[in-house]
Amino acid sequence: MRKINVSQISGAVAGLVKQASFFLRADVLSALRRAFLEERNSRAKKILKAVLDNAACARKEKLAICQDTGFPIVFIDLGQDVFLKGSLEKAVNKGIEEGYKRNSLRNSIVAHPLDRKGSGFSPCLIHTHIVKGDKVKITFLPKGFGCENKSRLQMFKPTASLAEIKDFIVGAVKDAGPDACPPYVVGVGIGGTADYSAVLAKKALLRRVSSKKSKLENDLLNAINKTGIGPMGLGGRCTALAVHVEIYPTHIAGLPVSVNISCHALRSASIVL
């Protein structure tokens, strides 16, 4: 049994908030650079240049990559041989508060979705997964809501064809159109339950953009890029940088499919304690 004081977790989370908000993920940056080089449409090229300049500016000036510093989401892989001293939930939220405040990020969270009074930095959402070992892996994903608003869930019939499912996923991107800051990274969750497919779709955004892709993922990416939506929706070759599909077993009576779109400012950071 390894003992970890939760104050260590607070500090780690605060550090991840800064890292993710100021420094665009290296894999996302390389994908954007490649999109810029491959783009032939002059306006799209100019927009991609602005996106790359923005990432450089954020890094240099210690500014948030995007003013929407997101709904803070924290994924924790908690080793079962770890003994946590103190409240994990409180510690993570303390880290979020500190990270956002210290780095002048935006207080985008309203305490009640209906009365919408006041706004703060927390609470964050915590997804905990118990794993083997005595380590704690923490991943921070600030999710902007321009793209979160374009999320889709459909409970397909178990007899649905792959073509129908592909149409639904590509349709979700077409519906997002120019609104959610393309080029996108498209997260897809297939299987599980309604809620779990949505979590899978979100988790899919954590995979490296340069990771090896399945045939389904490549087919979806090609179909999405054929829409010609392009950067800012003004046309171009690159509507999405990648499509990531996460699969989980499901029930004989159903086939849940969730789509979670990320804008080009796909931010996340991880640490292992």
Partner 1 sequence: MRRLTVPFGKNMLGSLKAGEEVLLNGTIYTARDQAHKRMAEAVKAGRGLPIDLKGACIYYCGPTHTPYGRVIGSCGPTTSSRMDAFTPLLLLSGLRAVIGKGARSQEVRDALRKHKGVYFLTYAGCGALLSGCVKKRSVAVYGDLGPEAVFRMEVEDFPLIVAIDTMGNSVYK
16 near partner 1, judged by CB under 8 A: no
- Residues with Cβ within 8 Å of 255's Cβ and at least 6 positions away in sequence, in order, are 155, 156, 157, 158, 160, 165, 190, 191
The residue type found at 7 is: S
Compute the least distance from the CB of residue 39 to partner 1, in Å: 15
The burial of 12, by beta-carbon neighbours within 10 Å (0-12 exposed, 13-18 middle, 19 or more buried), is given as: buried
User: Considering only CA atoms, which of 211, 191, 210 is closest in space to residue 201?
Assistant: 191
From 8, 30, 41, 54, residue interacting with partner 1 (rule: CB under 8 A): 54
264 near partner 1, judged by CB under 8 A: yes
- Per CB under 8 A, contacts with partner 1 among 72-111 are 103-108
- Per CB under 8 A, contacts with partner 1 among 193-212 are none
69 near partner 1, judged by CB under 8 A: yes
The residue type found at 162 is: L
Only one residue has tokens 């306006």, namely 43
Beta-bridge mates of residue 258 = 153, 189
From 8, 23, 29, 63, residue interacting with partner 1 (rule: CB under 8 A): 63
Look up residue 130 and give its two tokens: 């118990």
- Residues with Cβ within 8 Å of 36's Cβ and at least 6 positions away in sequence, in order, are 45, 48, 49, 52
Compute the least distance from the CB of residue 159 to partner 1, in Å: 35
Compute the least distance from the CB of residue 105 to partner 1, in Å: 5
From 233, 247, 270, 273, residue interacting with partner 1 (rule: CB under 8 A): 233
Of 6 and 205, which has the nearer Cβ to partner 1?
Answer: 205
Print the binding letters for residues 105-144 with partner 1: x by CB under 8 A, - otherwise: xxxx-------x-xx-------------------------
Compute the least distance from the CB of residue 50 to partner 1, in Å: 4
Q: Give the C-alpha separation, 147 to 267, whole Å.
A: 13
Q: By CB under 8 A, name the binding residues for partner 1.
A: 47, 50-51, 53-55, 57-58, 61-69, 103-108, 116, 118-119, 146, 149, 177-181, 232-235, 263-265
